[in-house]
Amino acid sequence: MVDDPKIAIVIDDFGGADTTGVKEMFSINCPMTFAVMPNLPHSEEHASEAVAAGYQVIYICRSHVYQGATGWRYSLVMGITLQ
């Protein structure tokens, strides 16, 4: 692994039903972070495998922008349900 990283590499959208290439991604010897979508068929499995392989894992938090009555023209609203 690199001692003094200059950029962050985040591999997105793990956890879904299509597992094509997942094992290959976990075998790359490079410091990366894997972003896992929660509450999908392979979310926990992919997160656990990434951690076991020595990678960092972050969870994707769904959000959307809408025009609200908060005084701000646009608001970012987090919309995730933990099960």
Residue 23 covered by a domain: yes
Kindly report, residue by residue over 45-56, the tens digit of the pLDDT.
999 999 999 999
Check residue 46 and give its pLDDT: 94
- Which residues constitute the domain of residue 42? 10-78
Residue 43 covered by a domain: yes
Q: How far apart are CA 70 and CA 43, in angstroms?
A: 34
- Count up the domains in the chain and report the number: 1
Residue 60 covered by a domain: yes
pTM over cut 0.75 = no
Distance of CA 73 to CAs 47, 61, 65, 66, 82, Å? 36, 22, 10, 9, 28
Residue 38 covered by a domain: yes
Kindly report, residue by residue over 10-32, the tens digit of the pLDDT.
888 899 899 999 999 999 988 89
Check residue 6 and give its pLDDT: 78
Check residue 38 and give its pLDDT: 86
